[in-house]
Structure 1
Amino acid sequence: MKYWIIEIFTSIQGEGEVIGTPSNFVRLAGCHMRCIWCDTKYSWHKYDGKELSIQEIISKINVSVKTTTITGGEPLLQDIIPLAEELKKLEQRIVVETSGTIKPNQKLMELVDVFSVSPKLSNAGYRLKYNFKDDDWATYYKFVIVNPKTDIPEVIKFVEENRIDHRKVLLQPDGRRNDYVNALKELADSVMEFGVQFRVLPQLHRIISYR
């Protein structure tokens, strides 16, 4: 079994509920979306990656770090079950970062510890319909907020339509902002104004450079 891989590295998790956690990162090549604010456009095309076997991937991670994040691109475009099985043999906690447009099967759900799901708002350039109300398989939902005044109501609508627990919703500012700390404050102020129970978190790598 081989995978198209963009990069493998070890760093500190920069976002989501696992923020601040040391983690291996396996970034798979290929994505079926083209989000306007994407910060990993270099992973969009499958053949920009390198084809590696599972053992080649394992040889490049730090097995003493007990979390591995499988990301992309869109990692669920490739069958990551065999890779996840090998990582579990190494007692790895597995985090999968996905757009939520591809539902994992039951076997993968049993292998993965954390599904970090990032549904796309219209600020990504899409008008997508999601259905999580019948199967809420996400560990948490992470939204990129460009304009809090218009984006937060869109998140509220998503949460209501999909019957999502507010405590599973994370908001983070647009990483393209040069005044990132101000963007974070604006987002926090807006969450308080709307009176919602969503969590506001930064992308840690926007504040500190660590890799």
Structure 2
Amino acid sequence: MRYWIIEIFTSIQGEGDVIGYPSNFIRLAGCNLRCVWCDTKYSWIRHDGKEMSIEDILQNINLNIKYTTITGGEPLLQNIEPLAKTLKEYEHFIIVETNGTIKPSEELKKLVDVFSVSPKLSNSGFKINYNFEDDWASYYKFVIDKVEDLLEVKSFIEKHNINPKKVIVQPNGLSKDYIESLRELADAIMRMNLPFRVLPQLHRIISYR
């Protein structure tokens, strides 16, 4: 099995329930969306990546670090089951970061420990009809540009019957003053009495890859 890969690196996981853990990152090439605030636009085109076998990938990650994040682009555009199965043989904890437009197979659900799902609000430039009837995400992560976006999140989770405890909101990572945006978001959550979890993108604060 071969994959189109944009980059492989090791860093601190900066988002979601696994924030703070050292992790391998395998960034797959190709995405089915073009979000206006995307900070990895270089991963959009599949053939901008390098074709690599699973063996090539294993040689480029730190096997002693047991957290591995498969991200993109949109990683579920490629069949990552064989890669996930191999990583499990090395006893890795697997995180898949996805935009939620492609539903994972039942076999992949068994292999992946965390599905970090980032549904896109209208601030992304898209309006997408999602299907989360079986609630397959480990958590749902939303990018917030302005206070009105929180009302859209509230409407979204009510429509899809999502448990608010699984909702994470974070500021747009491209904000000019990220700390101030984080503070404003936290204030808005408190003022609006919303039960969402506010988390930063840690790598924006510590200036670490």
TM-score range, shorter chain: over 0.9
1:192 is matched by which residue type in structure 2?
A: M
Which aligned pairs between 1:89-168 and structure 2 lie closer than 5 A? Answer: 89-132=89-132, 134-148=133-147, 150-168=148-166
Say if 2:183 is the partner of 1:177: no
Q: Counterparts of 1:15 and 1:207 in 2: how far apart (Å)?
A: 12
2:197 is matched by which residue type in structure 1?
A: R
2:73 is matched by which residue type in structure 1?
A: G
Q: Counterparts of 1:16 and 1:38 in 2: how far apart (Å)?
A: 17
Q: Counterparts of 2:90 and 2:208 in 1: how far apart (Å)?
A: 25
Q: Give the Å deviation of 1:140.
A: 0.1
Find the residue that maps to 1:17 and give its secondary structure: helix
Q: TM-score scaled by structure 2?
A: 0.99
The equivalent residue for 1:195 is: 193
The equivalent residue for 2:83 is: 83
Q: TM-score scaled by structure 1?
A: 0.98
Q: Counterparts of 1:162 and 1:193 in 2: how far apart (Å)?
A: 24
Q: Give the Å deviation of 1:194.
A: 1.4
The equivalent residue for 1:45 is: 45
1:156 is matched by which residue type in structure 2?
A: K
Find the residue that maps to 2:70 and give its secondary structure: strand
After the TM superposition, which segments of 4 or more aligned residues of structure 1 sit over 2 Å from their partners?
A: none
Q: Give the Å deviation of 1:176.
A: 1.0
1:147 is matched by which residue type in structure 2?
A: K
1:135 is matched by which residue type in structure 2?
A: D
Q: Give the Å deviation of 1:118.
A: 0.1
Find the residue that maps to 1:8 and give its secondary structure: strand
Q: Counterparts of 2:79 and 2:130 in 1: how far apart (Å)?
A: 22
Q: Counterparts of 1:209 and 1:188 in 2: how far apart (Å)?
A: 21
2:140 is matched by which residue type in structure 1?
A: Y
Q: Counterparts of 2:4 and 2:82 in 1: how far apart (Å)?
A: 14
Q: Give the Å deviation of 1:210.
A: 2.1
Q: Counterparts of 2:208 and 2:91 in 1: how far apart (Å)?
A: 25
The equivalent residue for 2:64 is: 64
Q: Counterparts of 1:105 and 1:85 in 2: how far apart (Å)?
A: 13
For the aligned residues, what is the CA RMSD?
A: 0.6
Q: Counterparts of 1:18 and 1:41 in 2: how far apart (Å)?
A: 24
The equivalent residue for 2:32 is: 32
Q: Give the Å deviation of 1:130.
A: 1.2
1:145 is matched by which residue type in structure 2?
A: I
Among 193, 204, 207, the alignment partner of 2:205 is 207
Deviations 1:42-63 (A, max 9, x none): 0000011000000000111001
Q: Which runs of 5+ in 1 are unaligned?
A: none
Q: Give the Å deviation of 1:129.
A: 1.5
Q: Give the Å deviation of 1:11.
A: 0.5
Give the % identical residues.
Answer: 65
1:129 is matched by which residue type in structure 2?
A: N
